[in-house]
Structure 1
Amino acid sequence: MARNTFAEDEELEQEFNWQHYRRLGQYVKPYKDAIYKVLLVIFVANIASMLGPYFTKIAIDQVIPEKNISLLLWISGIFFVSLFVIAWCMKYRILKITEIGQDMLKDMRFDIFHHLQTLPFSYFDNRPHGKILIRVVNYINTLSDLLSNGLINLISDMMSVVVTLLFMAWIDPVLTLYSLALLPVLFGLVMIIKQKQRKAYQVLSNKQSNLNAYIHESIAGIKITQSFARERENYHVFNEVNEDYRSSWMRAVRIQFLLWPVVQNISVLTTCLIYFVGIKQLGVSISTGTLIAFIGYINNFWNPVINIGNFYNSLITATAYLERIFETMDEIPEIQDAPNAKPLPPMKGEVRFSEVTFGYEPAKPILSKVSFHITPGQSVALVGPTGAGKTTVINLLSRFYDVQAGQVLIDGVDVREVTLHSLRSQMGVMLQDTFIFSGTILENIRYGKLDATEEEIIAAAKIVRAHEFIQDLKDGYQTVVEERGSTLSAGQRQLLSFARALLADPKLLILDEATSSIDTKTEEQLQVGLQELLKGRTSFIIAHRLSTIKNSDQIFYVDGGTIAEAGTHDELMALNGKYHHLYQSQYDLIRTN
């Protein structure tokens, strides 16, 4: 498990654009009515919080010198009620904002997951799965504070700043100007910190992605690791990746935490300045009540400024993660429905390749001008050396990739002219690496037809000879299997896949080394079920074990990017060519063993 296979830092394909925050705003729109209610509550809370300093000014300058007890009680009562109003508004705000924020995160997570479902195999082949997983889970979770509190709190704090400034300007315009004297200093320092912080979090997101990818790879390959006694080497690699992440985290946090003391110190210096100016003018142009009220308003002013600074911190931090999230969302699927694509009518099963040329790398074609015609209901076997293009044929048929030249037609219609869903929903594909989902045996077979009854599921399992081993399991069809079917043998997983494919009743069936993990005895029993599975449907079978494809209607020997030989088993054996040599070598090997 070489370190550089996954720990290479990902380069952003495009630089972050601040316009992307408009896209973030799209997730706010569905909840605008709820947000307006929250903002109204916040406005009420801001007005209520302004009453305290103002009543203090009146009490010191007028009520106490005049010994007006009744007015003092009225002011105290109104102030007491305002505290309850503020508390209720705060509770409503926290609950509602959290609910709205989590709904927005859910929507964003759904969008990126939905988009991942449309991306081609090449996207997943070229990236460690752990690096994809971290974008869907960790990076979006990192936005939780930004969306749950940040955006609405920013509006709240800006509203609070404006309301406070209006009250301050109403009481004393000169002191208000002194209160704003150090703001330019704050803005200058923020701009210096911003660039360093963003770069630090870009590096951190890379290191976090690398760590997640290695952990994912290590867990997936734990059997190989223990089989080759590679635990010690893996410890060393993990320590390096983990240390990279820790160092990047510490640097990013050190830069992030610079902003809070900067804002806090400027706030304290501003308060000192107000005290200095206010005391010099006390009794001349400023009353004691005005000075005390102003100090209260200074706190009301700088607290939201500090919060805005914290939000800015969160914004810069989130930018590094948003870049990765939107980069994934902007990945354009290579294979998608054409603008004028139409649903494929119920499939008959006629398949035609017309002068098809294709290569995973344009300069290195795998198939070159391949042509053949299959009538509905025929079974076709693809044999030949590794890398000759057998799997490529079925990848093009399923439209996992598009041809570079020529046409792939089903029932006379180019597969590029129909919707992907209508095409693939009428096909059944069984791969050598069968995938079993977490859940019961019953649910895994039903995956091929979600509305299937239990009786239909059992019938399908019996036909493909899976019923016997299922009955021997602890809970039969209700037996829970773990992720990827790790509690089942490879042969049992393939039998379940056969049952799943049969239940789905596809018109076109593709078997790619689907019997490779089944022992010879089970395969002999399966042949009857396999013939039932192939009956009445067009099928493509890739198999290195030639005994499974002797009865195919046509056998294609694929080699050198073309179909080198074609015919039935008997015809190809009589030809005494490449297929004859391949079959004879397997027969001699079996006879020797």
Structure 2
Amino acid sequence: MTRISQRTVYTLRREFKNKMKKLPVSYYDSHSNGDIMSRMINDMDNISGTLNQTLIQLITSLLQFVGTIYFMLTISWQLALVAFITVPLAMITVRIVAPLSQKFFAEQQKNLGLLNDQIEENYAGHTVIKTFNHEASAEKEFAKRNDNFYKSAWKAQFVSTLIYPTMRFINNLDYLAMAVIGGLKVISGTVNLGDVQAMLQYTNQFAQPITNISNMLNTIQATVASAERIFEVLDEKEMTDGIPVSEKVSDESSKNAVSKLGAIDKTDFINFDQVAFSYNENQSLMTDVNFSVEVGQMIAIVGPTGAGKTTMINLLERFYDVTSGKILLEGKDIREIDREQLRGRMAMVLQETWLFSGTIMDNLQYGRLEATQEEVIQAAKMAHADEFITTLPQGYQTLLNEAASNISQGQRQLLTIARAFLANPEILILDEATSSVDTRTERLIQSAMNRLLKGRTSFVVAHRLSTIRDANQILVMENGKWKYCGNGEP
């Protein structure tokens, strides 16, 4: 049974992990890390514990229940019916209490996810919390979520434990009814005293599995709530490749289609054609964006915060699909291109550097797993990362801790850029790539860019024009609309 339970949870965890990579970015935007981790760990543990401990007891109780019924019927079916009268009462009790306790258990697991999220957030930002002396407010927020978890857990446990004393009371009524009716039958001579005595013992045995099962409902209801949270994720809509049928046009109409910019120039590498995007129907984030990019050009996207710069990059990477219009890559709608193939032609340097626990060599090879050490070192030299790596005691075998906090922010930025260079993409996307490094490091990065971006199509998202002075085109965004597109300042 242990093997079965562990295998079941193993398979469920694997399916959960596979599902997570198929979910759209919008799911991650609307769910906290703590909630997802709670489903993956705490809810899975609940299911594992129930299958491991409760399942055997449940099977044993059911076998005892069926066996007791058989022997009771062989002694006296009339007295057996007396024992069976309480079964509907037990079922009614379970039917009333179980849904209520399950509701509270679901709330308990939800609050546990929120509590996990609070702990993770406080740990990740402990330096900022201490810097601004917000320990008290952080502790207050933690206490609030901890209190919510306590209240929901208390309600769930209290309601679920009502089943056990209620069932014991019903069983005692059953025992009393059996004694009274059995005594009357002995007096009337229809049943002998030995049979009544045996039926009283069987009544206790008949009640025992019912009591055990009701006692297990405490764990079962928590498990059902956990299972619902897991299957809620497994039932989420996955990302799909290809254009919906309603958006496709016939070959003939596509030949005659002319955008506001005129016919698509097949020599262009990337075209944004009347692109519009919104997360929901009530709020449009981007409307009527039109521009084209030739092979090897560097496009600078500038504008105030919230103007739609990062959204444009997300659309290009197909983290989201356009609401209307088209993004064409070499004349083909990117929605007709498999996401893995599309992203295989791109590399991105994010504003927030992400490095995992491991050696510097492992982190750089993440850009291209089959790359040799020589290729990794060459990419690091081109990004000016080799200069600081070779000064470390372990060099490229230096272990980075969690969040790579044992190296500076500028050094982390250089490593992510070197990783992108190692990927050798056709399209390079830099999202605020130089906004978090010092002046000297920025100069080093800019020098590497001028050399490495030659012949490679690139998009640079930045607030400062100083970081994109070598761009072939400057795209100015404001409120989701492009206001200017050219090769100089507007």
Aligned length: 468
Change (3 A) 1:253 1:359: closer
- Name the CA distance, whole Å, in 1 between partners of 2:460 and 2:396: 28
Alignment match of 1:321 (pick from 226, 242, 257) = 226
Indicate yes or no: 2:236 matched with 1:331. Answer: yes
1:408-419 pair list within 5 angstroms: 408-419=327-338
Q: How far apart are residue 469 of structure 1 and its match?
A: 1.3
Q: Which shifted more, 280-289 or 257-266? A: 280-289
- Give the partner amino acid of 1:386: T
Residue matched to 1:472 = 391
Change (3 A) 1:185 1:543: closer
Residue matched to 2:146 = 242
Contact 2:50 2:223 (C-alpha < 8 Å) held by counterparts: yes
Q: Percent identity?
A: 38
Residue matched to 2:30 = 126
Note the aligned Cα RMSD (angstroms).
3.0
Residue matched to 1:58 = none
1:129-148 pair list within 5 angstroms: 129-148=33-52
Change (3 A) 1:195 1:567: closer
Indicate yes or no: 2:200 matched with 1:200. Answer: no
Q: How far apart are residue 492 of structure 1 and its match?
A: 0.9
- Name the CA distance, whole Å, in 1 between partners of 2:458 and 2:286: 20
- Name the CA distance, whole Å, in 2 between partners of 1:410 and 1:231: 50
Residue matched to 2:211 = 306
Q: How far apart are residue 236 of structure 1 and its match?
A: 2.7
Change (3 A) 1:566 1:180: closer
Q: Which shifted more, 421-430 or 195-204? A: 195-204
1:36-435 pair list within 5 angstroms: 96=1, 98-150=2-54, 153-271=57-175, 273-274=177-178, 294=199, 297-333=202-238, 335-338=239-242, 350-435=269-354
Cα deviations by residue, 1:133-167 (Å, 9 ceiling, x for unpaired): 22222223222343334456544433332233123
Residue matched to 1:55 = none
Alignment match of 1:487 (pick from 388, 402, 406) = 406
Cα deviations by residue, 1:364-385 (Å, 9 ceiling, x for unpaired): 5443322222222222222333
Cα deviations by residue, 1:190-233 (Å, 9 ceiling, x for unpaired): 33323432343344334333323322222222222111111122
- Name the CA distance, whole Å, in 1 between partners of 2:200 and 2:369: 68
Contact 2:243 2:336 (C-alpha < 8 Å) held by counterparts: no
Residue matched to 2:474 = 555
- Give the partner amino acid of 1:330: D
- Please state whether the residue corresponding to 1:472 is helix, strand or coil: coil
- Please state whether the residue corresponding to 2:367 is helix, strand or coil: coil
Structure 1: give runs of 5+ residues left out of the alignment: 1-95, 342-347, 579-593
- Name the CA distance, whole Å, in 2 between partners of 1:473 and 1:417: 46
- Give the partner amino acid of 2:22: T
Indicate yes or no: 2:444 matched with 1:525. Answer: yes
Q: How far apart are residue 435 of structure 1 and its match?
A: 0.9
Residue matched to 1:514 = 433
Contact 1:340 1:417 (C-alpha < 8 Å) held by counterparts: no
Residue matched to 2:248 = none
TM-score, structure 2 normalization? 0.85
- Name the CA distance, whole Å, in 2 between partners of 1:366 and 1:273: 72
Structure 2: give runs of 5+ residues left out of the alignment: 246-266
- Give the partner amino acid of 1:504: A
Cα deviations by residue, 1:393-444 (Å, 9 ceiling, x for unpaired): 2121111222222210111110111221211122111111111112221221
Change (3 A) 1:292 1:475: farther
Q: How far apart are residue 495 of structure 1 and its match?
A: 0.7
- Name the CA distance, whole Å, in 2 between partners of 1:474 and 1:293: 82
Change (3 A) 1:549 1:248: closer
- Give the partner amino acid of 1:384: G
Change (3 A) 1:276 1:268: same
Contact 1:349 1:508 (C-alpha < 8 Å) held by counterparts: no
- Name the CA distance, whole Å, in 2 between partners of 1:549 and 1:157: 73
Cα deviations by residue, 1:152-191 (Å, 9 ceiling, x for unpaired): 6544433332233123322433342333233233233333
Contact 2:16 2:234 (C-alpha < 8 Å) held by counterparts: yes
Change (3 A) 1:231 1:146: same
- Give the partner amino acid of 1:250: W
- Name the CA distance, whole Å, in 2 between partners of 1:189 and 1:406: 58
Indicate yes or no: 2:418 matched with 1:499. Answer: yes
- Please state whether the residue corresponding to 2:390 is helix, strand or coil: helix
Cα deviations by residue, 1:551-592 (Å, 9 ceiling, x for unpaired): 333333334544444343xxx2xxxx53xxxxxxxxxxxxxx
Change (3 A) 1:374 1:240: closer
Q: How far apart are residue 528 of structure 1 and its match?
A: 4.0
Residue matched to 2:253 = none
- Give the partner amino acid of 1:205: Q
Change (3 A) 1:366 1:153: same
- Name the CA distance, whole Å, in 2 between partners of 1:292 and 1:160: 19
Indicate yes or no: 2:456 matched with 1:537. Answer: yes
- Name the CA distance, whole Å, in 1 between partners of 2:14 and 2:390: 38
- Please state whether the residue corresponding to 2:430 is helix, strand or coil: strand
- Name the CA distance, whole Å, in 1 between partners of 2:340 and 2:404: 27
- Give the partner amino acid of 1:194: A
